[in-house]
Amino acid sequence: MLDRMSDPPPRGYAANKDQLHKRLARIEGQVRGVQKMVADERYCIDVLQQISAIQAALNKVALGLVDDHVRHCMTDAAGDERRRDEMTEELMGAVGRLVS
Amino acid sequence: MLDRMSDPPPRGYAANKDQLHKRLARIEGQVRGVQKMVADERYCIDVLQQISAIQAALNKVALGLVDDHVRHCMTDAAGDERRRDEMTEELMGAVGRLVS
Amino acid sequence: MLDRMSDPPPRGYAANKDQLHKRLARIEGQVRGVQKMVADERYCIDVLQQISAIQAALNKVALGLVDDHVRHCMTDAAGDERRRDEMTEELMGAVGRLVS
Amino acid sequence: MLDRMSDPPPRGYAANKDQLHKRLARIEGQVRGVQKMVADERYCIDVLQQISAIQAALNKVALGLVDDHVRHCMTDAAGDERRRDEMTEELMGAVGRLVS
């Protein structure tokens, strides 16, 4: 699915790539922060609070991707019923994993 | 309660109304079951397990509604960018509430 | 904890039984409300919002039961390491189901 | 980070510190992997799947910390009702953040 030689159709989230990148870099830093907390044997309730903050940040990233995908689907697959069904199924698989 | 002679555009989930109704009736029965468990002072871990089963059943109903909405959006709002944005925003609000 | 004259070991949540019962009765009503919304073909986003409200109410009930169990464990199983491990494992199974 | 001069009482999770550290290092790698996926403009559904995997891994870490805390509470605060209530409240705050 990668390895394309030429102009890939812009992904839904391409426009927000910078913002996404920034958010993920911050999340990476938060995970490193938790590692340090564990190394320092910080109180586990404080560690848990930090983990909840990371979960919330990941949810925001995920919801942003879902949002882009839905908009992208509707533009892209509008005329093509089979493509539409395919994209909806993929989407619902992803949302289902997030929800449960 | 369907069988309308005119206007209202059929809701996305109208086709599955019977299935939805059955699922919700079963969930109602499960909630009553939990009330009985509490009245009988059943072990709280067993009550918790039953509550998790209800949550899972509600998630399934919710995901079915999201699925219908996405398909409905893509058919209905295909040509209308403003309507599309509106429906996507509503959807993302709903998905966001489910995920967090 | 319940001033019972005989047998049944008091459940952790026995003290809050009335409150629990009230909450569950309200949740049952909310589920019935969703059934009516579906029968009336209400907009699925509104149905989803109502389902999220039920999920939140169920989470509150579940967290109350977990709270009672933890307090109960600590009082009851304080001196008995094996009982303590058993209760912790049961609890973690229940919390794990709620979280995932 | 806690400025303790002397032998701190072992945190509940101290025994599992190595395992915790390994898990968090792997999660950090997963977050970096998602950053690369975004840089490569990989299909957003694949990115979402990877984010769900990170969420699941974080949940496992969190549940491990809750487990340690509960065992720790029950050993440590067994005789001290006030300390017990305090630890239960902290715990329930943390579990509540994980669940909702």
Considering only CA atoms, which of C46, D1, D31, C86 is closest in space to residue A28? Answer: D31
Question: Is any Cβ of chain C less than 8 angstroms from the Cβ of D74?
Answer: yes
Nearest to C84 among D62, D74, D95 (CB): D74
Mean pLDDT, residues C47-75 taken together: 90
Mean pLDDT of all residues in C12-37: 91
Q: Residues of A numbered 26-65 whose beta carbons fall under 8 angstroms of chain B's beta carbons: which are they?
A: 56, 59, 62-63
Mutation target for B interface from C4, C11, C36, C38: give the one with most B CBs within 10 A. C38
For chain D, the residue count is 100
Q: Do A97 and D12 touch (CB under 8 A)?
A: no
A100:B70 CB<8 A: no
- Residues B2-56: pLDDT tens digits? 444 444 444 567 668 889 999 999 999 999 999 999 999 999 999 999 999 999 9
Query: Which is more confident, D51 or B73?
Result: D51
CB pairs under 8 A between A and B: 63
Are C66 and D98 an interchain contact pair (Cβ–Cβ within 8 Å)?
no
Q: CB A94 to CB D45 under 8 A?
A: yes
Q: Which chains touch B (3 or more CB pairs under 8 A)?
A: A, C
B15/chain A closest Cα distance in angstroms: 16
pLDDT at C31: 98
Report residue B2 as tokens.
Answer: 């369907």
Minimum CA–CA partner of A97 in chain B: B99
pLDDT exceeds 60 at position D7: no
What percent of chain D lies above the pLDDT cut of 90?
A: 46
Q: Chain C within 8 Å of D96 (Cβ-Cβ)?
A: yes
pLDDT per residue over B74-93, tens digit each?
Answer: 777 667 778 888 888 888 99
What own/partner pairs with CB < 8 Å and gap ≥ 24 does C15-20 have? C15/C68, C16/C64, C16/C68, C17/B38, C17/B39, C17/B41, C19/C64, C20/B38, C20/C61, C20/C64, C20/C65
Which range of A66-75, C21-30, D1-10, D40-49 scores highest in mean pLDDT? It is: C21-30
Instruction: For residues C55 and C57, give the distance between their C-alpha atoms in angstroms, rounded to a whole number.
Output: 5
Residue from the list A56, A91, A99 with its beta carbon closest to the beta carbon of B98: A99
Output the pTM of the full model.
0.83
Record the tokens describing residue A31, joined without a space: 């995970």
pLDDT of C28 strictly over 60: yes
D95/C63 Cβ within 8 A: yes
Measured in residues, chain B has a length of: 100
Residue B69: which of C45, C49, C55 has the nearest Cβ?
Answer: C45
Burial of A73 (0-12, 13-18, 19+ CB in 10 A): buried
Buried b (16+ CB within 10 A) or exposed e, C26-57: ebbebbeebbebbeebeebbebbbbbbebbee
